[in-house]
Amino acid sequence: MSFIHLHCHSNFSFLDGASSIKELVSTAASFDMPALAITDHNNVSAAAFFFKEARAAGIKPIQGVEISTPGGYHLVLLAKNPNGYANLCALLTKAYLNSPRGNPIASWDSLTECNDVIALSACRQGEIPKFILKGRFQEAKLAAQRYCRIFGRDSFYLELEAPLLPGSISLNRHLAQLAAELDIKMTASNNVHYHRKQRFQLQDLLTCVRTLTTLNSVHPERHLHGEYYLKNATAMVELFHDYPQAAANTVEIAHRCQPVFSGQKAKIPQVPSLAGSSPIKTLRQLTFSGAQRRYGQVSQKLIQRLNHELKIISALGFCEYFLLVWDVTRYARKENIRFAGRGSAADSVVAYCLGLTEVDAFNRNLLFERFLSMERAEQPDIDLDIDARYRDKVAAYVFDTYGEDNVASVCTFNTYHARSAVRDLGKALEIPETMIDTLAKRLPHVHADQINSVWQNLPELRELDPRPYRQLLHYCGEAAGFPRFPGTHLGGLVVSSEPLTNITPLQQSAKGAIITQFDKDGVESLGLLKLDLLSLRTMSAVEDAAVNIRQKNQHFDYETIPLNDKETFSLLNSGNTIGIFQLESPAQRSLQRKLGAENMEDIVASLALIRPGPIKGNMVDPFIRRRLGQESVSYLHPKLKPILEKTYGVVLFQEQVIEIATAIAGFTPGDADRLRRVMSHARSHEEMAAIGQEFIDKAVDKGIDRTTAETIYSYIMGYASYGFCEAHAAAFANTAYKTAYLTRHHPAEFFAAVLSNYPMGYYSPDTIAQEVRRRGIGLKLPDINISTDKFTVEDTSIRISLAKVHQMDKKSLANILTARQEKAFSSPADFCHRAKASRPVTENLILCGAFDALYPNRRQLLWQLAELVRQDGLFTATQFDQNIPDFSFTEKLDWERDILGMDVRQHYMARFRTMLNKKRIMSTAAAKDSPQASLTVAGKVINPHRPPTRSGRITVFFSLEDEFGLLDVTMFERQYQRFGQLIFGQSHPVLTVTGTWSDNCLILQHAAPLAKN
């Protein structure tokens, strides 16, 4: 091979490169190139993907980066080996953390410390080419000599670009002269930005997005031609026919560079307080101590299970990981921070004994191999849901304990989906903003390359003329999935026993967190340990509710809530589950009414059932019929009965797939989990066929006849892709049941906590407020002398928080509460004088009724506000003009809803009830009790959505809400094509719907906006 591309940008050169790693690698492979370098701008974020793709394609991956140097010049650096890569990571980290955010500059000192790299003088943005283009030849020479001193003469090359721009021939000639004068080698590049020429238009468009310009604007960063694509070796050699050695040197450089990754192993730190002790001995001691606490008497069977798990944990080298998570949970308990472990970690009895989860995997007979196995040998993943208010406090403990050099947040990449692509690219194409906004708001949450496919299916889109959007949709399809910028993972931390900069650069995110340059998949593939500390507002609500309950019942203990409370199960059976963790969606409410849950197992099953897979696979109704005894349960083989009995013969959990493969085909638990993974991740047909044949052959060897074996395999294959992790469902079920208990026995305290910790859950605060009123709990307007920074309980009512007032900022709220601690506000004038709140905040407090107890005429108080502020509290109530009439009752309700985001005293629909009754349009309550075959109901549209269905046809589910509650509505495709635009297109918050009542749901036949007169 006579040429290797050493200067190549992927789409991880954010909004500059216009091809993915896969496209670049496959193109290079099609040219039989033995190697390829990736040199993205100021990051190595593609390194893990690049290494994997290149190795699969038989190409040597050369990892590099194009950095920015003092003066804003570019410089290409290629890692010779793993040490060189580590130096690049350290260099980038210093550049990011020692420069203004968004403008990383590598200092000369840090460049001097960067060994085991090869440097190229870069494109026209490089320091040397820029000096030459400006005719400053002596400065170019001095710069070249500086780079030779920094990197060594044998590791610095002058880069010649293809001579396709004005002045390029002269530039290359001067570079060649400089190379001869200073005895520096040259190399050639095409400064690749896309894998094929046709992507030039997309690259140009992305540049416009990055530079905040449009296609009709001139900008120096826009390329003048479309030749920066990955050309074959013959084409590149021809371009550099005047400098054949420059082309040949690319092969020499590629030969000098070696892959930077190899067999990465997790570098797990030891818990400082346990330093010097044996990790396995300590883990064993803590585990068996926890087993004694959890179970009282430790049986021989339990000892065998714990020894089995500990053997695998130790063999895989993860003892330190379990101890680290134990250390984090120990700290959370010490600080009284509520948390809950979840995910497949709940399949582990060791995790249960250590107090990492609350799921008893031993008595539930959960399979440890679903979590961790010798065959899979992947890193364990223990997720901790933490009270959202204190998640950062727990994370700070990890940073402080294990060292800031060894801990960082995992990054995420914000990628182009349909709406973001339409907005960004549409603006660059100069499509009118109103047209962009119209299209973006009507698009569902789909990938950017799916817009064309959904256009004809969605009536809200069919109303639009597609012709003005065709070019935009083409580019959206090309940019689908491209990363736009890095962000911070919601909870992931990486923790290492050595400095992270040996394996990843670190940088500051927009929110101030120090993040890696790799996302969760990248850090795991590089052997970095990931610890998930997730913010869960439900934990915050539970803690707030528990505190409020203990004020009236000091003996209340959330942890010891009885798990067999009949009133709680009765509440679940009613389907009135709004506000209950994981059980409040329309589908769950419907399921709870049908299922008739009697125990925790029913809740676990219900959490696994309402998922896209089981619904699409038509598993829900058969499960319910069998659960209620309306359909017989049969098993294809007697060995399946103990596995499937608790789910009535339905393969519902992923763990069951593993058990079936073990019992029927004699798979080891680890191999059985491999079967599950192949099925659940929809691998290639070849892979599925191979493992299927293995299953059948092994089953036959165990005495199962071939026909039965084939039937069993087809059976589990049909369900496995829909299966849910039982351990995860069990972990969530515990919280679901306990929040249901709180809803039933302490509704005021629980709903006050839910409203205080919004956003959380499925419904808006407005719908939660309606549920509060439906339960007979009063809602009270904010009061400037009573309300706090949370929703509070007053007897059987809930007082709205001052924090809920629109435009209330933290500073204003703190000022108000601090001033009130001194003494209550005696008048509006006193408030203005002492609270020092901003005028918009004060106006909103007046309009939502917070001053009603001090001065009930809101309009008059608002009118006099300017004088109050001017007089700085010297104005008194007796000086008010008494002739200004107050707002009407309806006006007050409108202001309250606008400012508080909820109807407080009366639901919006109540004002139309008299008119609706005259028109014989029913309330939601009347509709549920009506014997009529056809019903017409009016209400606010709540949470419309289009989940996947078994048939693939569009079905829309939403609720109508009025002052009596929610009524669930189903709209099938035929009606959706007629009326869908009323819901997903124009904004019609209130609809009149006519339909038939079926199975606690209104089947829509007709819909129209509510005529309000």
Q: Return the CA Rg of the chain.
A: 33
Range of 189-198, 365-374, 971-980 with top mean pLDDT = 189-198
- Determine the length of the chain: 1013
Q: 172-176, 460-464, 505-509, 569-573: which has the minimum mean pLDDT?
A: 460-464
> How confident is the prediction for the chain on average, in pLDDT?
92
Q: Is the dihedral of CA 971, 972, 973, 974 positive or negative?
A: negative
Output the six-digit token pair for 116: 């085991």
Those residues whose C-beta lies under 8 Å from the C-beta of residue 46, and which sit 6 or more positions away, are 10, 12, 21, 38, 40
Instruction: Catalogue the E-assigned strands of 80-217.
Output: 117-120, 156-161, 185-189
- What is the arrangement of strands in the sheet containing 797-799, beginning at the earlier edge strand? 778-780, 797-799, 792-794
**Which DSSP symbol is given to 653?**
B
pLDDT tier for residue 878 given thresholds of 50, 70 and 90: very low
Mean pLDDT of 307-311: 96
In angstroms, the CA 644 to CA 128 distance is 71
Strand partners, 531: 493
In angstroms, the CA 627 to CA 608 distance is 15
In angstroms, the CA 981 to CA 723 distance is 34
- The answer on pLDDT for 638 being more than 50 is yes
Q: What is the pLDDT of residue 287?
A: 97
Strand partners, 187: 159
Q: What is the pLDDT of residue 720?
A: 61
Q: 11-25, 298-312, 449-463, 532-546: which has the minimum mean pLDDT?
A: 449-463
Those residues whose C-beta lies under 8 Å from the C-beta of residue 644, and which sit 6 or more positions away, are 635, 650, 651, 656
In angstroms, the CA 493 to CA 513 distance is 11
- The answer on pLDDT for 376 being more than 80 is no
| Residue of 927, 929, 946, 945 whose CA lies nearest to 937 | 927
Diameter of the chain measured on Cα atoms: 98
468, amino acid identity: P
Give me the phi and psi of 1002, to 5 degrees please: -95, 120
DSSP annotation string for 309-378: HHHHHHHTT-HHHHHHHHHHHHHHHHTT--EEEEGGGGG-HHHHHTTS-S--TTTTT--GGGT--TTT-P
Output the six-digit token pair for 985: 């297109």
Can you count the helices (H) and strands (E) in the chain? 44, 21
pLDDT tier for residue 866 given thresholds of 50, 70 and 90: confident
In angstroms, the CA 947 to CA 588 distance is 14
pLDDT tier for residue 654 given thresholds of 50, 70 and 90: confident
Pairing relation of β-strands 156-161 and 117-120?
Answer: parallel
In angstroms, the CA 648 to CA 1002 distance is 30
Mean pLDDT of 897-917: 95
In angstroms, the CA 991 to CA 907 distance is 15
Model's pTM, two decimal places?
0.88
pLDDT digits (tens, 9 = 90+) for 932-960: 889 999 999 999 988 766 666 888 999 99
Output the six-digit token pair for 571: 């509440």
- What per-residue string of b and e applies to 24-56 under the rule 16 or more CB within 10 Å gives b? bbbbbbebebebbbbbbbbbbbbbbbbbbbbee
Q: What is the pLDDT of residue 670?
A: 79
In angstroms, the CA 419 to CA 461 distance is 13
**Counting Cβ atoms within 10 Å, is residue 805 exposed (0-12), middle (13-18) or buried (19+)?**
buried
| Residue of 118, 96, 13, 61 whose CA lies nearest to 505 | 96
Q: What is the pLDDT of residue 709?
A: 92
Q: Is the dihedral of CA 473, 474, 475, 478 positive or negative?
A: positive
pLDDT digits (tens, 9 = 90+) for 729-779: 999 999 999 999 999 999 999 999 999 999 999 999 999 999 999 999 999
Which of residues 452 and 789 earns the better pLDDT score?
789
Q: How far is residue 545 from each of residues 581, 757, 769, 776, 793, measured CA to CA in Å? A: 14, 11, 16, 18, 10
Which of residues 452 and 174 earns the better pLDDT score?
174
Q: 272-276, 322-326, 622-626, 879-883: which has the minimum mean pLDDT?
A: 879-883
In the chain, the percentage of residues whose pLDDT exceeds 90 is 78
Q: How far is residue 174 from each of residues 136, 141, 244, 731, measured CA to CA in Å? A: 11, 10, 16, 69
Output the six-digit token pair for 220: 């120096």
Q: What is the pLDDT of residue 803?
A: 96
pLDDT digits (tens, 9 = 90+) for 681-737: 655 567 778 888 999 999 999 999 999 999 888 877 766 666 788 999 999 999 999
In angstroms, the CA 125 to CA 144 distance is 15
Pairing relation of β-strands 483-495 and 792-794?
Answer: unpaired
In angstroms, the CA 605 to CA 595 distance is 10
Output the six-digit token pair for 904: 């407080």
In the chain, the percentage of residues whose pLDDT exceeds 70 is 96
pLDDT digits (tens, 9 = 90+) for 247-263: 999 999 999 999 999 86
Mean pLDDT of 893-914: 95
Mean pLDDT of 459-477: 91
Output the six-digit token pair for 430: 């100069």
Q: What is the pLDDT of residue 872?
A: 54
**Which DSSP symbol is given to 525?**
H
Q: What is the pLDDT of residue 121?
A: 97
- Which H or E element spans position 690? helix 685-701
pLDDT digits (tens, 9 = 90+) for 157-173: 999 998 888 999 999 99
pLDDT tier for residue 986 given thresholds of 50, 70 and 90: low
pLDDT digits (tens, 9 = 90+) for 991-1007: 999 999 988 899 999 99
In angstroms, the CA 388 to CA 758 distance is 11
- What is the arrangement of strands in the sheet containing 514-516, beginning at the earlier edge strand? 339-342, 383-387, 529-536, 483-495, 407-415, 514-516, 506-508
- The answer on pLDDT for 1011 being more than 90 is no
Give me the phi and psi of 777, to 5 degrees please: -95, 130
- Give CA torsion, residues 255, 257, 259, 261, to 10 deg: 160
pLDDT tier for residue 880 given thresholds of 50, 70 and 90: low
Q: Number of C-alpha atoms within 13 angstroms, CB side, residue 630?
A: 9
Q: What is the pLDDT of residue 743?
A: 97
Q: What is the pLDDT of residue 877?
A: 43
Which of residues 134 and 722 earns the better pLDDT score?
134
| Residue of 323, 448, 337 whose CA lies nearest to 395 | 337
In angstroms, the CA 351 to CA 731 distance is 12
In angstroms, the CA 932 to CA 923 distance is 14
pLDDT digits (tens, 9 = 90+) for 381-419: 899 999 999 999 999 999 999 999 999 999 999 999 999
In angstroms, the CA 721 to CA 40 distance is 37
Q: What is the pLDDT of residue 524?
A: 87
Those residues whose C-beta lies under 8 Å from the C-beta of residue 465, and which sit 6 or more positions away, are none
In angstroms, the CA 168 to CA 174 distance is 10
In angstroms, the CA 151 to CA 67 distance is 15
Q: What is the pLDDT of residue 931?
A: 83
